Amino acid sequence: MTHEYNGTGFIEVICGPMFAGKSEELLRRINRLIFAKKKFLVFKPTIDDRYSANEVVSHSKRAYKCIAIKNATDILKYVTPDLQVVAIDEVQFFDDSIITVVNTLANRGIRVICAGLDCDFKGEPFPVTANLLALAEDVTKLTAICAVCGKEATMTQRLVDGEPAKDSDPVVLVGAKESYEPRCRKCHCVRHE
């Protein structure tokens, strides 16, 4: 087996709940890449179109253009020999082939920066993020502020018509008004029915 690792590739993961500033931190790192004149590409899954299809946008509306892709393996089609850094936002929405893709890129000497949710609204880890956290050389776990008590929030609360969501609620609820807010472990609530 060929040992591809050339000593410079590595994986960074930026994780945390919603409203913790993950995209903001990713954009901060992208901004540094621009100043450092690095050759880089930014990707996100096509599923996320909250603000813009072809930009990584933070809640504070900072933005950077990116390539929206459907399958994680599509990233490999864009890799050129001079590529130094790959940034990926909303990484939890990719299927688990993203883990192999990220590992492959790092083994080729590329710095890979992944940002995404670590847990879903039930407080259960997204398998993709959990795996990447285990493989990463560098992990940044960001927190938000609990919308109920003002303490540090590590969890995402899903609300349906203003009430905590049930664990049986489908991902998309037709006709219901749903929202999300950051909460601490104590204030986070999932209704079991």
Question: Which residues make up the interface to Zn ion (CB under 5 A)?
Answer: 146, 148-149, 151, 184, 187
Least distance from Zn ion to the Cβ atom of residue 81, Å: 49
- 4 given a catalytic annotation: no
Q: Which is nearer to Zn ion, 38 or 186 (CB)?
A: 186
How far is it, in rounded angstroms, from Cα 59 to Cα 80? 31
- Find out whether 98 and 128 touch, Cβ atoms under 8 Å: yes
Query: What is the number of other CB atoms lying within 10 angstroms of the CB of residue 1?
Result: 3
Q: How far apart are CA 4 and CA 117, in angstroms?
A: 30
Give CA 191 to chain center in angstroms: 26
Using the minimum distance from each CB to Zn ion, give the nearer residue, 23 or 156: 156
Residue with Cβ nearer Zn ion (62 or 151):
151
CB 158 within 8 A of CB 178: yes
Which CB atom, from 64 or from 121, has the smaller least distance to Zn ion? 121
In whole angstroms, the minimum distance from the beta carbon of 153 to Zn ion comes to 7
Annotated active-site residue in 12, 55, 90, 137 = 90
Nearer to Zn ion, 86 or 187 (CB): 187
**Ordered alpha helix ranges (H), the chain:** 22-35, 74-77, 97-107, 127-135
Structure tokens at 115: 């940002």
Distances (CA, A) of 71 to 65, 78, 81, 118, 128: 18, 13, 21, 20, 14
Q: How far is the CB of 152 from Zn ion (least distance, A)?
A: 8
Beta carbon of residue 59, minimum distance to Zn ion (angstroms, whole number): 20
Indicate the residue type of 139.
V
The catalytic residue positions are 90
